[in-house]
Amino acid sequence: MNACKSCESSFQDYFADTCKQCHEHHKAKVAFLGATHPASFSDVVLFASDDEAAGPIPAHKAVLVSRSPVFRAMFENEMEESLSGTIKIGEVSYRTLGAFVNYLYTAEVRLDQQFACVLFVMAEKYQVQHLKDYCQTFLVANLNCDNSLSTYTLAHRHNAKQIIDAALIVITDNMDKLTSRKEYAKLKEKDPQLAIEIYEAFLSRHSSFSFVRTGPYVRGNGNQKKGGD
């Protein structure tokens, strides 16, 4: 067994000093950063519309269009942003926009739970799949009882099945704690359909566990008999 130099987990000999998961992540990162930059595009500035007083964030159209199909369509179709060289990004803070633009250049970002959520949404909006996958991996890996409901709600809004499935496991494992919290009461009031889905998942999991424990048969004296006979 070797220790991965990236994540420090143990792994069978795979790719020199990294595990398979880290190796695949590095390959995706290299592919992301290696995208070509069309020389026909000039510079541009971006503003966070929620925080315009913070000033512009400079970028290059060549980088934006190579990372995001949304930016590519914006510039190729000669929309207002393409003609003015100024892009106003709505419903985002200056810090978030700065981190997003920096990721387009470096494929690096320091995440916490809240930041992963907002960048996940932004990555989906601008179709930056590499960043979306990165945030999704972080959110799944850092699920716990305290953030499971909010993460589940976010995932449902954006149809992120991997996060939904992972969050449901945490939620149904902690139903006794979560159902007594104000957050759960607000969820039932604001979006009862989600509360129903959580309850159905809880019943499904516990019914399955009960079936596994008891089974369709009971054993006795070396013979199998149908339960209830």
**Closest alpha carbon to 40 in 19, 56, 62, 24:** 62
Domain boundaries, the chain: 1-34, 36-142, 143-214
Q: Is 40 exposed, middle or buried (0-12, 13-18, 19+ CB in 10 A)?
A: exposed
Start-to-end C-alpha separation, the chain: 52
User: What integer pLDDT is reported at residue 19 of this predicted model?
Assistant: 75
User: What integer pLDDT is reported at residue 25 of this predicted model?
Assistant: 74
**Mean pLDDT, the chain, as a whole number?**
82
Domain 36-142 sits in CATH 3.30.710.10 = yes
pLDDT in tens, 46-61: 999 877 778 889 999 8
Give me the amino acid identity at 180.
Answer: S
pLDDT in tens, 101-111: 999 998 999 99
User: What integer pLDDT is reported at residue 83 of this predicted model?
Assistant: 75
User: What integer pLDDT is reported at residue 5 of this predicted model?
Assistant: 57
> Percent of the chain at pLDDT above 90?
56
Q: Which CATH architecture has domain 143-214?
A: Alpha Horseshoe (1.25)
pLDDT of 130 higher than 90? yes
pLDDT in tens, 180-221: 999 999 999 999 999 999 999 999 887 755 444 445 444 444
pLDDT of 3 higher than 90? no
To which H or E segment does residue 43 belong? strand 43-48
Q: Which of 19-23, 119-123, 175-179 is modeled with the greatest confidence?
A: 119-123
